[in-house]
Chains A and B, each alone.
Chain A
Amino acid sequence: MHKKEEFLFAIKRVFPIVMGYLPVGFALGVMAADAGLSPIQMGLMSLFVYAGSAQFIAVDMLGSGISAIPIIITTFLVNLRHFLFSASLAPYFREIKQSLIPLISFFITDETFAVSITDAEQRPLSHIYYFSLYITAYSCWVLSTIIGTTLGNLIPDTKALGFDFALPGMFLALLCMQFKNARFILIALISGLLSIFFIHIIPGNWNVILATVIAAAIGVLIDEN
């Protein structure tokens, strides 16, 4: 693909992520304002951390007056799942300039991982694709959290507008692209049910990482060759 084509492709693919990030970032900003954070403080956190669920938890902990070390440890644990995303993207990152990998991998989130791994499986991608997709999503996240903190409770009712479905809808379509044979459907089903199960028994976002590791390991075991 030409550079321009690859850029346009990335912009097309980032659309559902943007639809999902705007209301969620907004909501986080509103919560941060309630917890006493300024827009600049919120913006700094989004710039450096860029991880939705960890930021929600951190804002909540800050609001309860919890100190830095427990917040940093919690952030580390909640974000450990990125380890799996990063490892899965590694084979595809061989096609891009090696010196750019430490920079590009900063932008790996649940959503950007899901979209880019799907695209990387289909076609060779260069750093143009990754930068276009990742930086667009990143900017939307940072800006929406700042705007949310600034406007506080003036937010429109994003629920009524269906934004709630943006990220689940994206995950659903991406999941369907993963159904290469019956084995993948079975693994997805196992992982989804395990995820719900773990939410009920272990607090703190462990469900995604535990369900994924167990389900993917079962996938290896039932793989014939």
Chain B
Amino acid sequence: MKIDLNYICLVLGMGFVTYLSRMLPATLLSKQEIPKVFVKFLNFVPAAVLSALLFPGVLMTENKLNIGFSNPLLIAAVLTFPLAYKTKNMFATVLLGMGIVILYNYFI
């Protein structure tokens, strides 16, 4: 596959449609008052998004539910949760969790 015009058009098209949903709300909403109920809604968005990304990430392996000791990511998440909850420290949480996964893969 060489770089032809078709490919350039494809990635430009993909980039354009992605950019629209990234740019439009931020640009339009930062200029005007946002309705109160929508602000309330947006307040809950970060917690909801993070959880919607986290749950499949640690509870599923290759698109299948995997709840148990055969899932190192779940074990790491459960063990690092107290640290994350208490310290809110992203760096420490990630490093401890990666350490747990390394140990798991080494011993099990």
Contact status of A51 and B31, CB under 8 A, knowing A13-B90, A163-B98: no
Instruction: Using CB atoms, name the residue of chain A closest to B55.
Output: A192
Query: Cβ of B52: which chain A residues have Cβ within 8 Å of it?
Result: 191-192, 194-195, 207-208, 211-212, 215
B56 in contact with A44 (CB, 8 Å): no
18 A–B contacts, CB within 8 A, in A order: A68-B13, A76-B18, A85-B49, A87-B45, A102-B27, A105-B23, A114-B49, A118-B46, A162-B98, A167-B53, A168-B73, A169-B90, A170-B90, A173-B90, A211-B48, A215-B48, A216-B48, A220-B37
**A219 at the binding interface (Cβ < 8 Å):** yes
A90 in contact with B34 (CB, 8 Å): yes
B27 in contact with A45 (CB, 8 Å): no
A94 to B26, CA, bound (A): 9
B13 nearest CB across to chain A (Å): 4
B64 nearest CB across to chain A (Å): 10
B105 in contact with A160 (CB, 8 Å): yes
**B68 at the binding interface (Cβ < 8 Å):** no
A71 to B11, CA, bound (A): 10
Instruction: Using CB atoms, name the residue of chain A closest to B43.
Output: A219
Q: Looking at chain B's contact residues, is the secondary structure mostly helix, strand, loop, or mixed?
A: helix
B79 nearest CB across to chain A (Å): 11
Contact status of A49 and B14, CB under 8 A, knowing A168-B58, A172-B77: yes
Q: How many residues of B contact A (CB 8 A)?
A: 76
- Chain B positions 5 through 49: 1 when the CB is less than 8 Å from some CB of chain A, otherwise 0: 011111111110111111111111111001001011111111111
A164 in contact with B30 (CB, 8 Å): no
A121 to B45, CA, bound (A): 13
A171 to B80, CA, bound (A): 12
Name A171's contact: one of B37, B50, B76, B101 (CB within 8 Å).
Answer: B50
A19 to B25, CA, bound (A): 29
Query: Cβ of B97: which chain A residues have Cβ within 8 Å of it?
Result: 162, 165, 168-169, 172
A16 to B41, CA, bound (A): 28
Contact status of A83 and B14, CB under 8 A, knowing A16-B90, A166-B98, A199-B60: no
A184 to B46, CA, bound (A): 10
- Give residues of chain A (135-188) contacting chain B, Cβ–Cβ below 8 Å: 159-179, 184, 187-188
A90 to B23, CA, bound (A): 10
B25 in contact with A75 (CB, 8 Å): no
**A36 at the binding interface (Cβ < 8 Å):** yes
B45 in contact with A212 (CB, 8 Å): yes
Query: Cβ of B3: which chain A residues have Cβ within 8 Å of it?
Result: 38, 40-41, 44
B11 in contact with A44 (CB, 8 Å): yes
A216 in contact with B44 (CB, 8 Å): yes
